[in-house]
């Protein structure tokens, strides 16, 4: 290889400068060859280096070839050349700023607002990095373990750090699972015990997940609940829990069984979105309905000075049935009556069940109220309807399970967000599809009372989740109570129609001039002939001043209503001021005074549901023939969450 080659060109005017440059290059080459410039291999670099005199060296080493570019400063007696555009002169007062030579000659100043945000961004990033590093190393004792606050000028940033595992997570690495049922006292006691200790657990309610009952029998040998499992090990029920707790051995036993992580043999918790397998049976008339949906000329018509949408005539339907099923006219009319009884079709004005001739009907999915029904998904449920009793019992069990998991112990506060994300609520919404064509008339009086009380309270929860809480605005509350509908047995039911139409025997709502049901309304057949004033303490409207939400059983609905009234009145439904001879009552008595009677009758009625102290005070005021003043308490319409 030849000697090192140096390509060095300095554009400076004057022959003397060129001679000077050549002499300097010669001396530098000699130094490079002798190794004087680089005494250590580690100092070799392919990047620009700056010498002590301010000049820069560009050195590239490849094998035995060394290319070194040296820029020699001009002669001190010559005028100094101007710096290229964008390059600042190196002085003690100025800061060196390297810029691309492709930059424009006239630099553009950053707008003030852009410069402000860039400076804030840089300072914020530096502050966060610095503060988090201090938190990680434990050098800053004033920083909270859970939250770090970063204060900048005009800006405050809060950074939430990862929580350290609590004491129970460090001790108990396993999984706690227990099987339960709705409205089971022993299951409630086990649940409360785990909650009091802040222990994480998985609950499998076999009323909500009926197919898991067989698993419970296989694991424990019976279907009795509660049954507690620590990982895959069966611990026992409430008796085993109390016996070990009383003798002080429970904690030691739990540490022993939960010292290891949960294995694959442990009970699996409920999974969101998966339904239990049930054999689906289609309605026996569904084939007829499908043919009619395709063949009938459904159109809008003008009748009784009204535009009736999506209807067909009975004569058209009979002709289609005769042609498609090769039957006589009498048989076709009978098939039409069956379709009407099963709530596939209805008369547009509700005048008759089904009659041949110039009468007009429409399918259930074409009813004008269907778009407002929250238990209808696009098409009619064509499966064979379950019995009303079966649906009612399952409704009560699922909603009771929701309360046990997502409500306070007194039922006054609900976690609506948790309910909306729960598998129990998803199953409730699916269950409500069964109400579309169910026959409520088959229920007994007590079963019907429990059904409508439970349905109202469940609809309130569903409405708050779906459309929001109405608050204290009168118009919003009226819309909330009237526009949120379920279709039940082919007919629409709102919160207002359930309370005032069915439970109160079609009485006017407070401050209303009309009754819920008009004459001839088929829903009147389900209305109770006599109003039970206790229903007002079993109905929850989702507000804080309302009675707590609860769900009732058909066989014990009367006693459960009495208990609900006693609990509500003893808590804050009535206050007695003996000195002022004043009784403060909930506004429920004012709004529904027609159900309770006159004020004197109300006081006598209340005495039977008070504790001894309040009952004695109220009896004293009522019996001395003095004037008793009744004042109605303010009603808090805010949501009960």
pLDDT at res. 140: 46
Residue 379: band (very low, low, confident or very high) from pLDDT cuts 50, 70, 90 = confident
Q: What is the pTM of this model?
A: 0.74
pLDDT at res. 8: 44
Residue 13: band (very low, low, confident or very high) from pLDDT cuts 50, 70, 90 = very low
pLDDT at res. 57: 46
Residue 127: band (very low, low, confident or very high) from pLDDT cuts 50, 70, 90 = low
Percent of the chain with pLDDT over 90: 58
**142 has pLDDT over 70:** no
Q: Given 1.10.10.10, 2.30.30.140, 3.40.30.10, 3.40.720.10, which CATH number is that of 167-257?
A: 3.40.30.10
CA distance 542 to 460: 7
- Both tokens of residue 405? 């998991």
Contacts of 365 (CB under 8 A, 6+ apart): 376, 378, 379, 380
Residue 286: band (very low, low, confident or very high) from pLDDT cuts 50, 70, 90 = very high
What does each C-alpha distance from 115 to 88, 121, 125, 315 come to in angstroms?
21, 10, 15, 80
Examine domains 167-257 and 286-368 and report if their fold is the same.
Answer: no
Residue 346: which of 370, 326, 330 has the closest Cα? 370
Residue 624: band (very low, low, confident or very high) from pLDDT cuts 50, 70, 90 = confident
Q: Are 569 and 583 in contact (CB under 8 A)?
A: no
CATH number given to 286-368: 1.10.10.10
pLDDT at res. 51: 45
pLDDT at res. 240: 94
Q: What DSSP character marks residue 233?
A: E
Q: Which residue has the higher pLDDT, 148 or 582?
A: 582
Going along 489-618, which residue ranges are E strands?
A: 491-493, 574-577, 582-585
Q: Write down the mean pLDDT value for the chain.
A: 82
CA gyration radius for the chain?
42
Q: Are 557 and 537 in contact (CB under 8 A)?
A: no
Residue 573: band (very low, low, confident or very high) from pLDDT cuts 50, 70, 90 = confident
pLDDT in tens, 37-89: 444 444 434 444 444 444 444 444 444 444 455 556 666 666 665 655 544 44
**263 has pLDDT over 90:** no
The residues facing 575 across adjacent strands are 584
pLDDT in tens, 97-120: 443 334 444 444 445 555 555 665
CA distance 404 to 225: 15
CA distance 32 to 595: 111
Vertex 389 angle, CA 388 and 392, to 5°: 85
CA distance 443 to 445: 7
Residue 280: band (very low, low, confident or very high) from pLDDT cuts 50, 70, 90 = confident
Q: Where are the domains of the chain?
A: 1-103, 113-160, 167-257, 286-368, 388-559, 570-632
pLDDT at res. 169: 56
pLDDT in tens, 148-201: 555 555 555 555 555 555 555 557 789 999 999 999 999 999 999 999 988 999
pLDDT in tens, 486-543: 999 999 999 999 999 999 999 999 999 999 999 889 999 999 999 999 999 999 999 9
Residue 524: which of 440, 433, 435, 432 has the closest Cα? 440
**20 has pLDDT over 80:** no
Residue 579: band (very low, low, confident or very high) from pLDDT cuts 50, 70, 90 = confident
Q: Which residue has the higher pLDDT, 585 or 95?
A: 585
pLDDT at res. 114: 57
The region of weakest confidence among 140-149, 207-216, 340-349, 437-446 is 140-149
Residue 32: which of 60, 10, 9 has the closest Cα? 60
Percent of the chain with pLDDT over 70: 73
How do 629-632 and 582-585 pair as beta strands?
A: parallel
What burial class does residue 204 get, using C-beta atoms within 10 Å of its C-beta: 0-12 exposed, 13-18 middle, 19+ buried? buried
**476 has pLDDT over 90:** yes
Residue 14: band (very low, low, confident or very high) from pLDDT cuts 50, 70, 90 = very low
């Amino acid at each position: 290889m030849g000697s090192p080659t140096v390509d060095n060109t300095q554009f400076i005017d004057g022959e003397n400068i060129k001679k000077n440059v050549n002499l300097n290059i010669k001396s530098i080459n000699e130094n490079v060859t002798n190794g004087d410039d680089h005494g250590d291999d580690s100092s070799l670099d392919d990047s620009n280096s700056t010498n002590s005199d301010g000049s820069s060296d560009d050195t590239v080493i490849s094998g035995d070839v060394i290319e070194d570019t040296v820029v020699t400063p001009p002669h001190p007696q010559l005028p100094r050349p101007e710096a290229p555009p964008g390059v600042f002169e190196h002085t003690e007062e100025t800061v060196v700023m390297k810029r691309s030579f492709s930059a424009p000659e006239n630099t553009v100043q950053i707008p003030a607002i852009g410069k402000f945000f860039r400076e804030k961004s840089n300072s914020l990033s530096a502050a966060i990095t610095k503060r988090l590093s201090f938190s990680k190393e434990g050098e800053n004792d004033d920083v909270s373990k859970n939250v770090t606050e970063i204060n900048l000028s005009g800006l405050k940033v809060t950074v939430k750090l990862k929580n350290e595992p609590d004491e129970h997570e460090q001790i108990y690495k396993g999984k706690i699972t227990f099987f339960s049922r709705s409205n089971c006292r022993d299951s409630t006691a086990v649940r409360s015990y785990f909650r009091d200790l802040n222990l994480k657990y998985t609950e499998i309610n076999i009323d909500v997940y009926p197919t898991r009952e067989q698993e419970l029998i296989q694991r424990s040998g019976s279907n009795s609940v509660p049954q507690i499992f620590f990982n895959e090990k069966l611990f026992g029920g409430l008796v085993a829990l109390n016996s070990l707790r009383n003798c002080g051995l429970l904690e030691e036993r739990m540490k022993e069984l939960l010292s290891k992580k949960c294995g694959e043999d442990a009970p699996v918790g409920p999974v969101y979105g998966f339904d239990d397998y049930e054999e689906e049976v289609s309605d026996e008339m569904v084939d007829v309905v499908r043919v009619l949906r395709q063949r009938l000329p459904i159109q809008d018509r003008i009748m009784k000075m009204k535009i009736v949408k999506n209807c067909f005539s009975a004569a058209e339907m009979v002709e289609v049935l005769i042609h498609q099923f090769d039957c006589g006219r009498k048989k076709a009319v009978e098939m039409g009556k069956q379709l009407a009884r099963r709530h596939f079709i209805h008369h547009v004005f509700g005048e008759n069940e089904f009659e041949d001739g110039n009468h007009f009907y429409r399918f259930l999915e074409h009813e004008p109220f269907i778009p407002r029904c929250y238990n209808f998904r696009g098409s009619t449920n064509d499966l064979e309807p379950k019995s009303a009793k079966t649906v009612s019992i399952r409704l009560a069990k699922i909603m009771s399970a929701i309360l046990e998991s997502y409500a306070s112990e007194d039922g006054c506060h609900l976690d609506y967000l948790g309910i909306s994300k729960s598998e129990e609520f998803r199953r409730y919404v699916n269950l409500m599809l069964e109400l579309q064509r169910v026959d409520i008339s088959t229920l007994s009086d007590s079963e019907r009372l429990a059904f409508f009380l439970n349905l109202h309270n469940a609809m309130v929860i569903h409405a708050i989740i779906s459309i929001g809480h109405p608050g204290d605005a009168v118009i919003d509350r009226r819309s909330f109570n009237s526009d949120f509908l379920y279709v039940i047995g082919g007919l629409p039911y709102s919160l207002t129609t359930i309370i005032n139409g069915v439970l109160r025997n079609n009485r006017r709502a407070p401050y209303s001039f009309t009754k819920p049901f008009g004459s001839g309304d088929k829903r009147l057949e389900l209305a109770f002939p006599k109003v039970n004033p206790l229903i007002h303490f079993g109905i929850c409207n989702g507000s804080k001043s309302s009675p707590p939400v609860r769900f009732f059983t058909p066989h014990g609905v009367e006693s459960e209503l009495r208990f609900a009234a006693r609990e509500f009145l003893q808590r804050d439904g009535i206050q007695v001021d003996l000195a002022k001879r004043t009784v403060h009552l909930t506004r429920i008595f004012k709004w529904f005074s027609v159900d309770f009677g006159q004020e004197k009758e109300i006081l006598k009625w209340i005495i039977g549901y008070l504790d001894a102290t309040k009952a004695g005070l109220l009896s004293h005021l009522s019996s001395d023939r003095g004037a008793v003043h009744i004042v109605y308490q303010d009603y808090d319409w805010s949501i009960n969450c």
